[in-house]
Amino acid sequence: MIIAANFKSNLTLQKIKNYFSVLDSFVNGNDDVYVFPPFFAMQEKAKNFHIGVQNAYCEFNGAFSGEITLESLNDFGIKNILIGHSERRNIFGENQELCARKFDFFAQNNFSIFYCIGESLETRKKGKSAIEDFLSSQFDRIDVDYEKLIVAYEPVWAIGTGVSAKIEEIEETHNFLRTLTKRPLLYGGSVQLQNISDILKIKNVDGALIGSASLDVENFKKMIEVARGKK
């Protein structure tokens, strides 16, 4: 099971230092754990879990004010990235063309790519066919056979709302996604300690991408413990 934490724009550097120290002592070699902190914490190190970047631009360096580029990531030894998160798409206007460009660039540079997809509530209400058409469109120009691809299905209406998709909804969607790629499929969207066990039991769910529930390291440790029992 892959268990990943996306801190988004939360926590201070000192809090992250403390978090990493606690987590590194807890995680063992059998766990597959990733943490995506804000960029200012990229210099922190971990022996037993992987650190990734929440966003980066698809160039080595250059005149891209405010962006993180490959040169910086190489300097920090970072080889894991989130691409296509709904907040990047919906708040910052990243369209499918840009997501695909980022994917191609970081795949060429041998990154593990957590590629995020997910539909809005409006699309969900239109039914199964609309959901599947929309999710398929988010794979446009994406190499679904890339060996370091990890797909994270995060229904937009469940992110940060405290409302997770129903077990039946997750299973149906993940079964469809399995027809599109053989790569690991994670579920994200209000994953909590109370529901992670049931989520990880679902067929074709290979792990979880966790947002706010991961900000407390003790809570995140408990979620990793749950995942250990699902292998």
Mean pLDDT per 10-residue run, the chain (231 residues)? 98 98 96 97 96 98 97 98 96 97 98 97 93 98 98 87 83 98 95 96 97 97 94 62
Q: Hey, what are 224's tokens?
A: 């990793």
| 3 state DSSP class of 205 | coil
Q: Cβ(155)–Cβ(119) under 8 Å?
A: yes
What domains are there in the chain, each with its CATH number?
A: 2-228 (3.20.20.70)
Among the listed residues 103, 29, 25, the one whose alpha carbon sits nearest the alpha carbon of residue 95: 103
Distance CA 175, CA 58 (A): 31
pLDDT of the residue at 180: 98
Q: Hey, what are 81's tokens?
A: 């990235």
Q: Is residue 134 within a helix (H) or strand (E), and if so which, with residue range? A: helix 128-137
Phi and psi at 87, nearest 5°, equal -70, -35
Q: Which residues are catalytic?
A: 85, 154
Distance CA 100, CA 221 (A): 33
